[in-house]
Structure 1
Amino acid sequence: MIAGLLRRKGPRRGWTNTVAATGWGESTFAELAWDKSRGAAFRWGVAGAVVGALIGLIAFAPAAWLAKGVASATDQRLLLSDARGTVWSGSAVPVLTGGPGSRDASALPGRLDWTLGVAGLGFEIRARHACCLNGTTVLRIRPGFGRMAVTLVPPAGGWVGQWPSAWLSGLGTPFNTLQLGGALRLTSPGITFESAQGRWLVKGRADVELIDASSRLSTLDSLGSYRLTLAGDPAQAGTSQLTLSTMEGALQLSGSGTWGAAGVRFRGEARAASGDEAALSNLLNIIGRRDGARSVISIG
């Protein structure tokens, strides 16, 4: 009888042990699943914080970053001084300098305001400067693999901006010696500068006009007005044409050259109009190499 009771209770004890073992396993698996879920949530939280920080950093990137980029791209000849705001919407004072180590500097009056936004596959900069720009000037930047294109959108009226010629004195020699008066005007029907394989290609045209120029090196109230044209040359890929001409004036300037992978190569000359030789003699000595009545201009 006792043996019979033991035989009946044997399977019952086995069933109890199995339940206990199964309960322990389910509890362990639940804890592991919870730890795994908590670890994944933590990683997602960290990732979200990092992404949020990056978005905030980009959205509120200080204007000083753009100023550093412009200074680096121009070898510190164009500075955006006292930059305020963000890369996307800011302002600064444009300053011309002679480059690293130069003591020459010349600032424009007022502040240059800009906004930067995404446009298609690139970016668009819209700039305003009450003293010097014709309304809103638009630059479109299109980056690519190993190349970048910057396009100046032609403004209404054709002229982009006008600056005092005295601003050039910030570039140092020879402008700080010439102490030019008058105005610089930039006009363009549209022009694109494209960087490819380390070279800049030009498509379109731009004219820089020096209007009613004067100099402290001459007793004349006005030297004249001049035009320097930069135009892409379809016949010579990677080379742009430079042309200097006199619009009117006592000082006669002319010349031509190219801008390409080898840099700027230019040959020109300066002469005095009949009757103004004495008044322009000192200036002709500064402009280039004197050769009789003319002064030879050579770059590159």
Structure 2
Amino acid sequence: MKRLWWLFAAGLFLLALIVQWPAAWLAPRIEQATQQRWRLGSVRGTVWRGQAVLYSLDRSSGRWHPGRRIHWDFVWGELLRGRLAVQTGLGDAGRVRLAAGPRSWSIEELDATMPAEQIAVLLPATLADYGWSGPMHARARVFSCQWGRAGCVGRIDLSWTKAAVAYVPGPPLGDYQLRLTAEGKALRFDLATVRGRLRITGAGELSGGALRFTGEAWANGEHAGNLETILQALGRPGAAPGRYLIEYREKIR
């Protein structure tokens, strides 16, 4: 009887440890998963329910910049479906549910806004170093991937407003729509301009360790400024005067 009591007490102690598992445990995991480009600060609560400030790395200066405060709640009901799921909120900036099961992980119910510079640090290769800025709103119902890079399926729609790049002086370039579509091991993206002084349309793909994009761009309106000179350097003349064919190729390490 005494032995059973000790086992019961040990079980309660273990359960208490699990329930009170500190949220700080997540910080190094987030940093590792994002290749040291995101980290959590001012972490409070537990793994199951907590909050923190999301920091992003400025790769050019090596400094960490604070972003939005996020909070999360473990969705216990998903255990009945054999999944782990966390509902994450960004205050008035939106929400997203992150889920993982034995065979796949997924991004669900995504409806959130983040600064482009905080998202850009996650981009592959030199794309992250162009000094992106402007709010970016993302929407997706379900975007899921198999473990072990076996392939993904789903779509994410991005709206980028007041888009700007540090290398292009002057007012914002414009507002753009970017659609990401996962097709197995390939990620296709389609870009269109809503409005702005830089008009660009095109499509590309990330697959087989290579990033490819082909499109057409042109300067627009009285605020076009020095865009014409930049487009001449980046592209080659298109079918119509003032339009330029843009091609981008880069190997992803």
Range of TM-score over shorter length = 0.7 to 0.9
Aligned-pair distance for 1:63?
0.6
Contact 1:193/1:200 (8 A) holds in 2: no
1:141 aligns with 2:141: no
The separation in 1 between residues aligned to 2:55 and 2:130, in whole angstroms, is 18
Deviation at 1:274, TM superposition (A): 5.5
CA–CA distance in 2 between the matches of 1:255 and 1:149?
29
Unaligned runs of 5+ in 2: 238-243
Tell me the CA shift for residue 68 of structure 1.
Answer: 2.3
User: Could you tell which deviates more after superposition, 218-227 or 164-173?
Assistant: 164-173
Aligned partner of 2:240 in structure 1 is: none
What residue number does 1:106 align with? 65
CA distance change for structure 1 residues 252 and 283 in 2, over 3 Å: closer, same or farther? same
Q: Output the TM-score relative to the length of structure 1.
A: 0.66
* In 1: Cα distance, 2:194 partner to 2:18 partner: 48
Aligned-residue offset at 1:232: 3.0
- Identify, as 1 or 2, the structure richer in strand: 2
Residue 240 of structure 1, CA deviation: 3.3
Mapping of 1:10-49 within 5 angstroms? 41-42=2-3, 44-49=4-9
Change (3 A) 1:151 1:103: closer
Paired residues in the alignment total 239
Q: What does 1:204-219 align with in structure 2 at a 5 Å threshold?
A: 204-219=154-169
Correspondence 1:80 to 2:40: yes
Q: CA deviation at 1:269?
A: 4.4
Gap change, CA 1:55 and 1:283, over 3 Å in 2: farther
Larger Rg: 1
Using structure 2 for the length normalisation, give the TM-score. 0.77
Aligned match of 1:6: none
Is 1:226 matched with 2:185?
A: no
Which blocks of at least 5 consecutive residues in structure 1 are unaligned?
1-36, 155-159
1:129 aligns with 2:82: no
| Structure 2 counterpart SS, 1:203 | strand
Q: Percent identity?
A: 23
Partner of 1:194: 145
Distance 1:240 1:47, change over 3 A: same
Taking the aligned partners of 2:75 and 2:99, their CA distance within structure 1 comes to 10
Report the AA paired with residue 266 of structure 1: R
Deviations 1:196-231 (A, max 9, x none): 3x1153322111221122345445423111222111
The answer to whether the 8 A contact 2:154-2:182 is kept is yes
Q: Give the one of 202, 216, 219 matched to 1:273.
A: 219
Instruction: Specify which structure has the higher proportion of helix.
Output: 1
Residue 225 to residue 200, structure 1, CA distance change in 2 (3 Å) = farther
